[in-house]
Amino acid sequence: MLAKRIIPCLDVDRGRVVKGKKFEGIKDVDDPVRLAKRYSDEGADELVFYDITASSDERDIFIDTVREISHNITIPFTVGGGVKSVEDFRKLLLAGADKISVNSQAVRRPELIREAAEIFGSQCVVISIDAKRNDRNSWDVYVKGGRENTGLDAIDWAVMAQQLGAGEVCINSIDEDGVKGGFDLKLIKRLSEVLSIPIIASGGAGKMEHFLDVFNAGADAGLAASIFHYNEIPITGLKEYLFENDIPVRR
């Protein structure tokens, strides 16, 4: 069985790592380069960098920050935020990213997924989905940093992204984001039933047991932010706990 991955996430706004709850109440946390190096040194499996206002502000990602982070870490590095074209993929990969995450622009123009996969390979293309529960017992896809409901069904969109060539899906539960009450296990189980590509679960991690639950629900990786930023859960301790509970991890 493939090892499950622990992935810290850097939500970056105007050059600083920030964190909120349910995409609101954003607070300053730290310098992204310093945090990135810390996570690399502490044994994180990968790192994700999201420029959270690039799409809503309709600007390019802060590529100098991406480049500096890549020079200070030794783990795979996914970058997203404001990615609009194959050329944006190229620029970020040349700046040191290993994988590129797309969200808003892929919803607007799904062919971007296919184009990028054909040029750079599916392993490089991560479709990021911000999902929120609706009153129909399903989840809607939101874009522009969780500001705009597209009306798309999150499960259907994930399946389409896989068909277009995405190599991975990062599913973020807006309802659980920053709440620390646990991942949306129902959402993860539903996705695991219909997808064959890896699933990164995001939104809701508050204690070690939440990672155990989400891996047992079908996730391939667990992504979190504030619990790692504020040293509430040490990555080495989390991996040891998972290993003791029969979850394969890199130690």
Angle among Cα 152, 154, 142 to the nearest 5 degrees reads: 65
Asked if 106 and 161 touch (Cβ cutoff 8 Å), the reply is yes
Catalytic residue among 130, 140, 177, 220: 130
CA-nearest of 142, 141, 174 to 158 is 141
Decide if 135 is catalytic: no
Decide if 130 is catalytic: yes
Asked if 165 and 206 touch (Cβ cutoff 8 Å), the reply is no
Query: CB under 8 Å, gap of 24 or more: what pairs does 131-134 form?
Result: 131/171, 131/172, 131/173, 131/174, 131/184, 131/187, 132/173, 132/174, 132/175, 133/175, 133/184
User: For the chain, what is the radius of gyration of the CA atoms?
Assistant: 16
Angle among Cα 34, 37, 43 to the nearest 5 degrees reads: 140
Sorted by sequence, the CB contacts under 8 Å of residue 115 that are 6+ apart come out as 86
Sorted by sequence, the CB contacts under 8 Å of residue 230 that are 6+ apart come out as none
H/E stretch holding 161: helix 154-164
Return the active site residues. 11, 130
